[in-house]
Amino acid sequence: MNTCGWCRSCLSGAGTYCSDLYARNFGGRRPDGSSSLSLSGETVSSAFFGQSSFSTYANVAERAVAPVPKAVPLELLGPLGCGIQTGAGAVINTLRPAAGSSFAVFGAGAVGTAAVMAAHLVGCSRVIVVDLNPDRLSLAQQVGATDVIDASQGDVPARIMDLTGGLGVDFALDATGAPTVLRQAADSLALRGVVGLVGAAPPGTETSFETGLSITRGWTLRMIIEGDSVPQVFIPQLVELWSAGRFPFDRLVRTYPFEDINAAFADAETGKTVKPVLVMEQ
Ligand SMILES: NC(=O)c1ccc[n+]([C@@H]2O[C@H](COP(=O)([O-])OP(=O)(O)OC[C@H]3O[C@@H](n4cnc5c(N)ncnc54)[C@H](O)[C@@H]3O)[C@@H](O)[C@H]2O)c1
Ligand SMILES: [Zn+2]
């Protein structure tokens, strides 16, 4: 992730809300308008996430670099730069549930499952996971979910209310990006609960909430980018937790030789692989 370093957010340590975040990470160009890649004299789009790294060596923005210990397998660490730090950070940095809180995660992809591991790690008493994919629900159970719900079966908020004795959950996280799911997450909250949104939807997407009666519930909606992480601080912490066996995000990763990139995409789309990683022979 590349950030400018001098806008109000960056200077406040909240670089994931950098005023130039979109251009620097998704604009296909460096901040001066140039590209770091070319092919036979033709300019090629670059700087995706401040890097663009489908190569043996990558020309990246200095602010997008996070040092990691040499001993840790490098092919495992790529996912920490986006999805994994987003899910874990949404719990550890943003929502900060106290030990004993209840937490519901909607969507058990890489982002949601990282949130499940983090909620388990910080001592949530109930970690309820909602997804449509039974394999992903089963993986979530192996890494900290106390209860799982198949979203295709019935009224999800009602089932969460049942599981929590009618209270609802203290925290919910939408890691799907579907407006209907965000609404379900909000409807599953306990009094004064907080729902975080990390799932990304296309620009212009709207979600509707009941605001007549639910004002009395004092709930909060928080939009979250990259788990509010300062990558140079948070990624080494996640690596340390992984090394100690307390954050087993390697369970989500499956590696593919670079030539099998289409299979990796297909497996991500069908949900077979949670986090595909492409490995290039040096
Ligand atoms: N906010 C950020 O900074 C940030 C960072 C990384 C990723 N994202 C976004 O987070 C989302 C999740 O990313 P991912 O890599 O885990 O994706 P993913 O596609 O692997 O996971 C999404 C999961 O949601 C599940 N799902 C779909 N519809 C559902 C429903 N109706 N009810 C319950 N579950 C449902 C899918 O089965 C899937 O397992 C994406 O939208 C991604 O773009 C946001
Ligand atoms: Zn900035």
Judge whether 55 lies within some domain.
yes
Residues 112-122 have a mean pLDDT of 98
Q: How confident is the model at residue 104 (pLDDT cuts 50, 70, 90)?
A: very high
pLDDT for the residue numbered 49: 92
Q: Which of 3, 26, 132 to mutate to test the pocket of ligand 1 (most atoms within 8 A of CB)?
A: 132
Residue 237 has pLDDT above 90, yes or no: yes
| Close Cβ partners of 161 (under 8 Å, ≥ 6 residues apart) | 167, 168, 188
Ligand 1 atom with minimal separation from the 200 CA: 41
If asked whether residues 190 and 156 sit together in one domain, one would say: yes
Tokens 């997450």 found at? 185
Residues 184-208 have a mean pLDDT of 98
Q: Is the CB of 111 under 6 A from ligand 1?
A: yes
Cα 43 to ligand 1 centroid, rounded to whole Å: 32
Judge whether 90 lies within some domain.
no
The CATH number covering residue 154 comes to 3.40.50.720
If asked whether residues 254 and 185 sit together in one domain, one would say: no
pLDDT for the residue numbered 54: 80
If asked whether residues 47 and 169 sit together in one domain, one would say: no
Tokens 């043996």 found at? 56
Judge whether 114 lies within some domain.
yes
pLDDT for the residue numbered 58: 83
Judge whether 241 lies within some domain.
no
Indicate yes or no: pTM above 0.95: yes
Q: How confident is the model at residue 56 (pLDDT cuts 50, 70, 90)?
A: confident
pLDDT for the residue numbered 226: 98
Q: How confident is the model at residue 52 (pLDDT cuts 50, 70, 90)?
A: confident
Residue 51, domain extent: 8-81+248-279
Q: Is the CB of 107 under 6 A from ligand 1?
A: yes
Indicate which residue's Cα is closest to atom 40 of ligand 1. 199
Residues 30-58 have a mean pLDDT of 89
Residue 282 has pLDDT above 80, yes or no: no
pLDDT for the residue numbered 137: 98
If asked whether residues 77 and 99 sit together in one domain, one would say: no
Residues 5-28 have a mean pLDDT of 97
Instruction: Determine which of 4-8, 50-54, 93-97, 137-141 has the lowest per-residue pLDDT on average.
Output: 50-54
Residue 107 has pLDDT above 80, yes or no: yes
Cα 83 to ligand 1 centroid, rounded to whole Å: 9
pLDDT for the residue numbered 183: 98
Residue 256 has pLDDT above 80, yes or no: yes
The CATH number covering residue 266 comes to 3.90.180.10
If asked whether residues 141 and 255 sit together in one domain, one would say: no
